[in-house]
Structure 1
Amino acid sequence: MLILILYFFIFIVSVQILYYLGVFGKFAFAKVQKFTPKRIPISVIVCAKNEEENIVNFIPLLAEQNYPDFEIVLIDDASSDATLDIFEGFEKQYSNVRLVKVENNEAFWGNKKYALTLGIKAAKKEYLLFTDADCYPTSKEWITAMSSQFTMQKTIVLGYGKYEKIPNSFLNKIIRFETLLTAIQYFSWAKIGHPYMGVGRNLAYKKEEFFNVNGFIEHMQIRSGDDDLFVNQAAKAKNTTIAYSPESFTVSKPKTSFKDWWIQKRRHVATANYYKPFDKLQLGAFYCSQLLFVLLPIVLLSFQFQWILVLCLIVLRYIITWIIVGFSAGKLKEKDVVYWYPILELVLLFTQMNIFITNTFSKPVHWK
């Protein structure tokens, strides 16, 4: 039995190395991205529901972008706070702000996709750039950096949405590490020609891509997924590219309590159940290989069975993965989390397992 477990462990280590070198290495070892400014007309779309505290600070940062031809489409999704009043003030203050007011609709109550659809239809530009109400760009060149990746063929651009760093917060390190690992995955798969998701905090596409798949109609009944489910449906090797220059990043305010983050991740994990079969398979295989990489050595080492070989395999795997994660973190300006890599990986791994189990027995809460 132990020899079979050892062989299986060798197989699992091989799978992990294949993922990190064969897939994730495509992004980790990619060249530093440079961009040449283009003058593509852009509609920046922001959907907000009860975000009065965030939009006061962040919408002006969008309005101050250094870009020659853009509008800002502000969507108020039937807010009950002062969000609409603030948006109306911005509409008066900035000539390039367009306001979309969404009233509660019995058929689409609380459905962000319905609100976004109205905003997309109201947008006057053919190229759309999305971010969230609690996000802000890292530079005044954000629109320039994201739009520069558009070409005649590449009409979907996947960007990176960072989270603010909170000093001396272990939860913040977990959140940022999980965000980094997710970005490594979807950037790498996009580079090898199989894009499967993006994040609404930083995503751009041509309007025709939205209408080519009939918008969100295929997954309108699923409250989440206006970003990743859309990309999973519309993105292909020929029409998708990535933006990862530092100027293209957005930053979001992270959750500050484990409970709030837990609820957020439950929504994300539940949405992944609706990905295409291959995407669910590769994500599941990666997670299972991570989990088995932790569990199998415990059995082998507890019996001291071929312990030298087992330890060598563990060290080999960690050296390779640490290098891949380190190079990727350097590109995405997240180097500080790499120092905590083994610990953060273990915590995230078992947190995800608990989320899978919890989601099996109850449905997560979605849009506000």
Structure 2
Amino acid sequence: MVFLDFVFCAFIVVVIIQAFFYIFLFGSFAFLKPKKPASKNIAISVIVCAKNESENLKTFLPSIISQDYPDFEIVLINDASHDNTLEVMHHFEKQHKNIKIVNVKGIEAFWGNKKYALTLGIKATKNAFLLFTDADCKPVSKYWIKEMSSHFSNKNSIVLGYGGYSKIEKSFLNKLIRFETLITAVHYFSFAKSGIPYMGVGRNLAYTKKEFFNANGYINHIKVRSGDDDLFVNQVATHQNTTICFSKKSFTESISKTTFKDWFKQKRRHVSTAKHYKLKHKSLLALLFISNILFWFLAIVLLISNYNWQIILSLFLFRIILQYIILGLSSKKLNESDLLIYLPFLEIFLVIAQLTIFINNLISKPNHWK
């Protein structure tokens, strides 16, 4: 009984921690009322870095070219591709005067490092405001540039956007990927809204060229092959210079991985950058992750043992209902409401997957940009 007494007390503490995160942190985004800033019509440089992405460029680049915006250039970076990516870029360049190509040759010192290619691309831009996306992404509307750029101001030099994934019917993996993307977005939007921005996603991210060069670009983490988006934001973002954009016309959309193996490899790369975050961010994220694991583990142990089951069940339902409310409001903002019906199952599976990824990254290093 002494052991179960300890587990019972630990469960109460875990529920309190979870409630704190959901009410005071994630609630800052869930209950946030969107404000539409005035259009700026500032000159924008859209940057797309591509490595062996010829087919994706053919499919998705037209949605960027057709943006309804008065003044923008598209900087296409060919990062030492060995397919016909460069030829596809030249094809579009001949048809559109606002396209510029930066052809990056692989060099030994920066082989396989996307940050080197991005740095050359940023240096080649002519505008002071930069908007980033990936070659396999498409804006969901023709007002993507307009919506993202409207959030720049004299104070705001970093704009965090949402990059989701297209829906695949009857695919559990697709739902899991979209759920993980939703949770990640709720986290970085909520942290930013609470004054502690810690990451952004390169599928939909904007910042000024001045911010980039003031930080000496990616030099502080140039040897870390991943993290051109989240590590840069983690380094330079503050409560004063960072804002969020979550209007539905500002989203980008990608095609998700179709096998667990490919998704697992992708997430290993993403998770490996977290150890380079600032200590305060790592501490908060670790507390959130550990409390999430313990919530499910301790609840199962106590319910199976039938120990104070009425109290345990009440606390369990309290946290689940709270989660449904917060994620329900957040998912509506991000067009992911269809995932709510699967919430407990997706969360349990995601917790197991994240723990597996964490253990695998401790054992061996993940593969990066090739």
- Scaled by the length of structure 1, the TM-score of the pair is 0.99
Task: Report how far residue 297 of structure 1 moved.
Answer: 1.8
Which is further off, 33-42 or 59-68?
Answer: 33-42
Q: Please give the per-residue CA displacement for 1:128-181, whole angstroms capped at 9, x wherever unaligned.
A: 000000000000000000000011000000000000100000000000000000
8 Å contact 1:74–1:98 — kept in the other structure? yes
Q: Percent identity?
A: 57
Partner letter of residue 238 of structure 2?
A: K
Matches within 5 A, 1:166-245: 166-245=168-247
SS in 1 for 2:24: helix
Task: Report how far residue 34 of structure 1 moved.
Answer: 2.3
Residue number in structure 1 paired with 2:341? 339
1:262 aligns with 2:264: yes
Residue number in structure 2 paired with 1:100? 102
Residue number in structure 1 paired with 2:360? 358
8 Å contact 1:32–1:331 — kept in the other structure? no
Structural RMSD (CA): 0.7
SS in 2 for 1:340: helix
Which segments of 5 or more consecutive residues in structure 2 lack a partner in the other structure? none
SS in 1 for 2:276: coil
Residue number in structure 2 paired with 1:122? 124
SS in 2 for 1:124: coil
Task: Report how far residue 33 of structure 1 moved.
Answer: 4.0
Matches within 5 A, 1:10-159: 10-159=12-161
- Structure 1 distance, partners of 2:146, 2:328, is 27
8 Å contact 1:33–1:244 — kept in the other structure? no
8 Å contact 1:24–1:185 — kept in the other structure? yes
Partner letter of residue 365 of structure 2?
A: K
Residue number in structure 2 paired with 1:297? 299
SS in 2 for 1:130: strand
Partner letter of residue 64 of structure 2?
A: L
Task: Report how far residue 4 of structure 1 moved.
Answer: 2.0
Of residues 162, 165, 187, the one that matches 2:164 is 162
Runs of 4+ in 1 over 2 A off after TM superposition: 32-36
- Structure 2 distance, partners of 1:215, 1:54, is 27
Residue number in structure 2 paired with 1:253? 255
- Structure 2 distance, partners of 1:328, 1:253, is 22
8 Å contact 1:162–1:179 — kept in the other structure? yes
8 Å contact 1:47–1:75 — kept in the other structure? yes
- Structure 2 distance, partners of 1:301, 1:48, is 51
Q: Please give the per-residue CA displacement for 1:313-357, whole angstroms capped at 9, x wherever unaligned.
A: 000000001110000000000001111000000000010000111
Matches within 5 A, 1:294-333: 294-333=296-335
Residue number in structure 2 paired with 1:3? 5
- Structure 2 distance, partners of 1:26, 1:360, is 33
Partner letter of residue 123 of structure 2?
A: K
Which is further off, 299-308 or 20-29?
Answer: 299-308
Which is further off, 328-337 or 25-34?
Answer: 25-34
Q: Please give the per-residue CA displacement for 1:1-20, whole angstroms capped at 9, x wherever unaligned.
A: 22222111111000001001
The number of residues matched between the two structures is 368
Q: Please give the per-residue CA displacement for 1:228-282, whole angstroms capped at 9, x wherever unaligned.
A: 0000001001000000000110001100000000000001111111101111111
Partner letter of residue 352 of structure 1?
A: Q
- Structure 1 distance, partners of 2:144, 2:300, is 47
Residue number in structure 2 paired with 1:282? 284
Partner letter of residue 174 of structure 2?
A: N
Task: Report how far residue 89 of structure 1 moved.
Answer: 1.1
Task: Report how far residue 304 of structure 1 moved.
Answer: 1.2
Partner letter of residue 137 of structure 2?
A: C
Which segments of 5 or more consecutive residues in structure 1 lack a partner in the other structure? none
8 Å contact 1:33–1:245 — kept in the other structure? no
- Structure 1 distance, partners of 2:45, 2:125, is 6
- Structure 1 distance, partners of 2:143, 2:40, is 11
Partner letter of residue 355 of structure 2?
A: M
SS in 2 for 1:339: helix
- Structure 2 distance, partners of 1:168, 1:112, is 34
- Structure 2 distance, partners of 1:179, 1:338, is 14
- Structure 2 distance, partners of 1:365, 1:8, is 37
- Structure 1 distance, partners of 2:163, 2:322, is 25
SS in 1 for 2:5: helix
SS in 2 for 1:129: strand
